[in-house]
Amino acid sequence: MRAVVIGDVGDASGLRVVERETPSPGPGQVLVRTEAIGVGGVDAMIRRGGLGASAVGTVAGGEVAGSVSAVGDRVDRSWLGRRVWAATGTSGAYAEHAVAGVDDVTELPSALSSVDAVTLGSAATVAHLALAHARFSAGESVLVRGAAGSIGIAAVQLAARVGAGSVAVTTSSADRGRRLRELGATHVLDRSGAGDAGMADTVDVVLDVVGGADVPAFLDRLSPNGRYVLVGAVAGFPPPELAASLLRTFQLSRSFATFSLASVGATERNRVREQLFLAAVRGDLAPVVHSVLPLDQAAEAHRQMDRGTVFGRIVLVPDQP
């Protein structure tokens, strides 16, 4: 089978298309014949070497959609032939066939395409559970930092759907702001957090996909008892003075938390994902696809991610008969 491996850590040119033997599912695993592969921000971080352990030689990517073509021991054979979304962990997805643990597999509604499934499967689930982690409720205000990515786009829609008092976003262009307003945003700010004079000075919740050096400045935009949830760090980890920012406003009882899907059990992740897929089928949640590229253009997909020109999700598709 064809697969895309990380040949060198660094820029996108390190991604290489190679021939690999089709893997076999082990106990508790399934083999998915891929129809669509999601390209996410964490994939780019791993490719750059930003998560510590070397990824050289590994197949890139973490989520696919397709049909189950084989099952391992201790897996019900009724999975065979089902169309599914599957998480492969932090590697193994950019390939014509991918192995996943059966606990990380969600059956797809017949009306949902594989491309839409990988656009929503991980990102919308993160957005939904991160808002829950922040105890976000109807009538509250939220600021989604880095809203042009698939997690941010889902968070904007989900917050609006539950009756947010206001949904502010940070993004890099007027066109992106317009598109985010169409999805439920009420205030559009630039990347620094400036740009909307009609917005209140503070918000109840900040959902941050970006991270990096500006986290303390956005933390200062929290209302008393406000909650800040960091779900990504595409700009790097927050600086050490983050703790000082919290302590300086001790009497406001602001809080800061990180959120990862790894902290949520598989049963709950799959329950939420099933609900989100059905919401997409009903038209209550819009998958936003930036582009669909062939598998052998994975490096170009990552170049676009690195340039910051992506709105929504890039999806790779194997060219299979």
Residue 299 confidence (pLDDT) above 90? yes
The tens digit of pLDDT for each residue in 27-75 reads: 999 999 999 999 999 999 899 987 766 789 999 999 999 999 999 999 9
Strand, coil or helix: what is 221? coil
The tens digit of pLDDT for each residue in 78-122 reads: 999 999 999 999 899 999 999 999 999 999 999 999 999 999 999
Residues carrying CATH 3.90.180.10, the chain: 2-108+288-317
Distance separating alpha carbons of residues 102 and 317, to the nearest angstrom: 22
Dihedral sign from CA coordinates of 113, 119, 125, 131: negative
> How much is the pLDDT for 321?
44
> How many other CB atoms are there within 10 angstroms of residue 52's CB atom?
7
The tens digit of pLDDT for each residue in 157-207 reads: 999 999 999 999 999 999 999 999 999 999 999 999 998 878 999 999 999
Residues carrying CATH 3.40.50.720, the chain: 126-261
> How much is the pLDDT for 53?
67
> How much is the pLDDT for 6?
96
Distance separating alpha carbons of residues 134 and 256, to the nearest angstrom: 9
- On the 0-12 / 13-18 / 19+ scale of CB atoms within 10 A, 69 is middle
Q: Are 96 and 53 in contact (CB under 8 A)?
A: no
> How much is the pLDDT for 195?
87
> How much is the pLDDT for 49?
87
From the candidate CATH numbers 3.20.20.150, 3.40.50.720, 3.40.50.1820, 3.30.10.20, the one assigned to the domain spanning 126-261: 3.40.50.720
Q: Which CATH number does 2-108+288-317 carry?
A: 3.90.180.10
The tens digit of pLDDT for each residue in 287-297 reads: 999 999 999 99
**Bridging pattern class, strands 255-258 and 222-230:** parallel
- Pull the structure tokens for residue 160: 């609006």
The average pLDDT across 126-141 equals: 98
Buried b (16+ CB within 10 A) or exposed e, 216-225: bebbbbbbee
